[in-house]
């Protein structure tokens, strides 16, 4: 029996052991399938992305810009993983379980290097969402995340909610960005502030859309979450050290009498003596946000799910990736949730969630229109 074609291949960070990366990948794939588009995540697992999650981490020179720092990161990462011990193994298992159950199909074969993309059969490629155009993460701008590779079946490349990490890139990337962006037929970005930069190098329309996690509602996310046994806590998740955030969480804990639980992947954490879960995967992360009394974070996706789950939350700005946080807050009219320059937001101020839901609904409608405009419904008759 012949297999049916899958028309759409999504190139994103599904291989990264990161909560937001995996959850946005799941959301985009699920939304397209719900809209009768035959889509799957391309199992592109390059070592420059997956290597940082190995027991002995592989941190390429192109990311650290220094042999010395590559060695230091490798040795430091290995020491951290050994210290975590069983917890590190459990977290890897939770990540693998989620990926196997929700992201990558059994018949799909891993693609480790760019040359392997040439053999794939997809007609359409969606590059994004997440920070696929952030050279600090990928060690330079990578052809794969622009669809800049030869394939006899490829008809169109669409960028959906692609992110630079900020509003622009350093000047040394301009020439390469100009070259690679020409391989894309339709472009949308996640941060509105990035549009002027992209339009410097691209003649077509560039629009801002929502991160795909907003395509799925709270009830949909409840189907993949894992509820924690603990109740009555403040949830903290950070992507960059921030002493003001730590002080805020401690103060809130004293005032409410609630303990602080922190989820952590890799070496970034508060180191503040909070109860830390080193084992949580994406499902556990969702559960922690859902059942928290309060959420304190500087993470984009912890902010996104605080909105989806309608939590009491505050967001602290990120030193070099603040544009994405400010954008998501602005889109939902929640500017009073943002802590800037040491100013504390009142986490107990009531939020009119009906108004927020309408803003989400309108933004997701525009985002969905962009996707559906550029990808027709799948032809069910096509076979391998």
Predicted local confidence at residue 166, as pLDDT: 86
* Nearest-angstrom CA–CA distance, 81 and 266: 8
Predicted local confidence at residue 1, as pLDDT: 34
Predicted local confidence at residue 62, as pLDDT: 65
Predicted local confidence at residue 327, as pLDDT: 87
Q: Which residue has the higher pLDDT, 59 or 145?
A: 145
Q: Which residue has the higher pLDDT, 166 or 100?
A: 100
**Beta strand ranges found along the chain (DSSP E):** 8-11, 39-41, 124-127, 156-162, 186-189, 206-208, 234-237, 260-263, 275-277, 294-297, 313-316, 338-339
Angle between helices 19-34 and 282-291 (to 10 degrees): 90
Q: What are the distances in angstroms from CA 196 to CA 63, 193, 205, 225?
A: 26, 7, 11, 37
Contact 324, 132 (CB under 8 A): no
Predicted local confidence at residue 368, as pLDDT: 97
Q: Could you read off the pLDDT of 189-214 as tens digits, one per residue?
A: 999 999 999 999 999 999 999 999 99
* Nearest-angstrom CA–CA distance, 90 and 110: 23
Residue 4 above 60 pLDDT? no
Residue 87 above 70 pLDDT? yes
Tokens describing residue 365: 């409608």
Q: Which is nearest to 347 in space by CA: 296, 285, 290?
A: 296
Predicted local confidence at residue 384, as pLDDT: 42
pLDDT band at residue 61, thresholds of 50, 70 and 90?
A: low
Q: Which is nearest to 292 in space by CA: 256, 243, 335?
A: 256
Residue 383 above 70 pLDDT? no
Residue 382 above 90 pLDDT? no
Q: What is the mean pLDDT of the chain?
A: 91
Residues forming a β-bridge with 313:
295
Q: Could you read off the pLDDT of 318-361 as tens digits, one per residue?
A: 776 667 788 899 999 999 999 876 567 899 999 999 999 999 99
Cross-sheet strand order for the sheet of 234-237: 275-277, 260-263, 234-237, 294-297, 313-316, 338-339
What number of helices (H) and strands (E) belong to the chain? 14, 12
**47 phi and psi angles, rounded to 5 deg:** -55, -30
Tokens describing residue 6: 């899958």
Q: What percent of the chain has pLDDT over 70?
A: 93
Lowest mean pLDDT: which of 31-40, 53-62, 155-164?
A: 53-62
- Pairing state of beta strands 186-189 and 275-277? unpaired
DSSP 34: H
Residue 379 above 80 pLDDT? no
């Amino acid at each position: 029996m012949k297999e049916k074609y899958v028309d759409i291949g999504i190139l994103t960070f599904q291989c990264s052991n990161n909560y937001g990366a995996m959850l946005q990948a799941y959301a985009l794939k699920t939304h397209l399938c719900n809209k009768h588009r035959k889509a799957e995540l391309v199992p592109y697992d390059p070592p420059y992305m997956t290597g940082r999650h190995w027991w002995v981490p592989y941190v390429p020179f192109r990311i650290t810009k220094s042999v010395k720092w590559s060695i230091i990161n490798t040795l430091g990462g290995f020491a951290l993983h050994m210290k975590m011990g069983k917890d590190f193994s459990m977290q890897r298992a939770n990540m693998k379980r989620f990926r196997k159950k929700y992201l990558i199909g059994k018949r799909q074969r891993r693609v480790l290097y760019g040359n392997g993309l040439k053999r794939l059969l997809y007609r359409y490629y969606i590059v994004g969402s997440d920070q696929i155009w952030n050279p600090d993460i990928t060690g330079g701008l990578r052809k794969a995340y622009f669809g800049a590779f030869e394939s006899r079946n490829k008809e169109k490349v669409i960028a959906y909610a692609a992110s630079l990490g900020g509003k622009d890139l350093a000047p040394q990337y301009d020439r390469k960005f100009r070259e690679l962006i020409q391989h894309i037929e339709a472009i949308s970005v996640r941060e509105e502030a990035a549009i002027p930069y992209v339009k410097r190098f691209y003649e077509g329309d560039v629009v801002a859309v929502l991160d795909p996690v907003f395509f799925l509602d709270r009830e949909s996310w409840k189907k993949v979450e894992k509820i924690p046994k603990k109740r009555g806590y403040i949830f903290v998740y950070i992507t960059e050290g921030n002493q003001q955030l730590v002080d805020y969480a401690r103060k809130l804990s004293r005032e409410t009498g609630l303990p602080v639980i922190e989820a952590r992947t890799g070496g970034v954490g508060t180191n503040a003596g909070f109860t830390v879960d080193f084992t949580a995967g994406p499902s556990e992360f969702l559960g922690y946000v859902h059942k928290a009394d309060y959420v304190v974070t500087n993470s984009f996706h912890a902010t996104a799910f605080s909105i989806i789950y309608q939590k009491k939350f505050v967001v602290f700005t990120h030193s070099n990736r603040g544009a994405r946080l400010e954008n998501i807050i602005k889109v939902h009219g929640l500017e009073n949730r943002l802590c800037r320059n040491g100013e504390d937001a009142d986490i107990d101020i009531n939020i009119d969630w009906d108004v927020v839901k309408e803003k989400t609904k309108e933004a997701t409608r525009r985002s969905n229109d962009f996707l559906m405009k550029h990808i027709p419904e799948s032809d069910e008759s096509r076979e391998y």
